[in-house]
């Protein structure tokens, strides 16, 4: 779905008494000015918590903020690409936390990934050597399909908003409706056939397709931690 978020945000800010600046609005809603600027320019999609915060500040619904041109009250037209809003948490400095999905939470992740209440209950921590301008989450490895990574290893992964940018052979956490959370090599045919081919590093497991409509999230592998020395 096409979204009117960025232009609505500009429009609503300019309707405020005194024509509030980006800096002033960012201060009032507890956002960084650079974050608000990227939202208004359309360079970044809103985090779930920020979207709720801004909609509440302007006293409009989240749905209207996304799907209506509030200047003319016209609904958005249907388009091929969908807006993806990531449910996430931030620390006291408004910086992204790194949420950890423990084994006991993995089974429910494909249902709870978009629920801020579910995400807010996950353990959180910060890793100082990871860039601050990207979103990370940690997932445990289950099974032996991605040897030499052993079961129980923890994978650090970076959120991917535009799935079509994934290069063939990239290792990703793929969250799907049917299989839940899996770590696989991804071969990208979304532009041609609306499908990803997922391949294990363990040759005992055959590659298989996942249709775009079945994908819920993609996270690109950036590193891992394990308490055992890899074979």
pLDDT by residue for the chain (231 residues), tens digit each? 457 888 899 889 888 877 788 888 989 899 888 888 888 887 777 887 888 889 889 888 888 888 888 888 755 443 444 556 788 888 777 778 899 999 888 888 988 888 888 898 999 977 777 887 789 999 998 888 888 888 888 999 999 988 989 999 999 999 998 888 999 999 999 988 889 999 998 988 999 999 998 999 999 999 988 766 555
Predicted confidence at residue 1, as pLDDT, reads 40
pTM greater than the 0.75 cutoff: no
Domains identified in the chain and CATH numbers: 5-71 (1.10.260.40), 98-225 (2.10.109.10)
Predicted confidence at residue 82, as pLDDT, reads 53
Q: Indicate the Cα dihedral angle 126, 128, 131, 136, nearest 10°.
A: -20
Predicted confidence at residue 74, as pLDDT, reads 58
Bridge-partner residues for 201, per DSSP? none
How many residues does the structure list for the chain?
A: 231
Residue 139's nearest CA partner among 117, 157, 151, 119 is 157
Burial class (CB in 10 A: 0-12, 13-18, 19+), 174: buried
Which residues contact residue 205 at a Cβ distance below 8 angstroms, ignoring those fewer than 6 apart? 145
Predicted confidence at residue 231, as pLDDT, reads 57
């Amino acid at each position: 779905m096409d979204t009117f978020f960025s232009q609505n945000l500009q429009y609503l800010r300019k309707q405020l008494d005194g024509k509030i600046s980006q800096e002033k609005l960012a201060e009032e809603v507890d956002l960084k000015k650079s974050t608000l600027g990227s939202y208004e320019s359309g360079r970044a999609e809103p985090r779930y918590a920020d979207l709720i915060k801004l909609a509440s500040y302007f006293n409009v619904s989240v749905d209207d903020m996304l799907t209506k041109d509030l200047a003319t009250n016209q609904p958005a037209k249907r388009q091929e690409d969908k807006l993806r809003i990531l449910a996430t948490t931030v620390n006291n400095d408004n910086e992204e936390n790194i949420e950890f999905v423990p084994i006991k939470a993995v089974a429910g992740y494909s249902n709870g990934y978009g629920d801020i209440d579910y995400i807010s209950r996950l353990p959180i921590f910060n890793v100082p050597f990871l860039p601050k301008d990207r979103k990370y989450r940690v997932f445990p490895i289950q099974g032996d399909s991605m040897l030499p990574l052993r079961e129980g290893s923890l994978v650090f992964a970076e959120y991917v908003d535009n799935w079509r940018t994934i290069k063939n052979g990239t290792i990703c956490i793929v969250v799907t409706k049917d299989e839940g959370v899996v770590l696989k090599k991804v071969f990208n045919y979304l532009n041609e056939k609306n499908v990803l081919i997922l391949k294990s590093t363990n040759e005992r497991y055959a590659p298989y397709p996942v249709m775009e409509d079945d994908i819920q999230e993609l996270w690109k592998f950036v590193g891992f931690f394990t308490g055992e020395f890899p074979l």
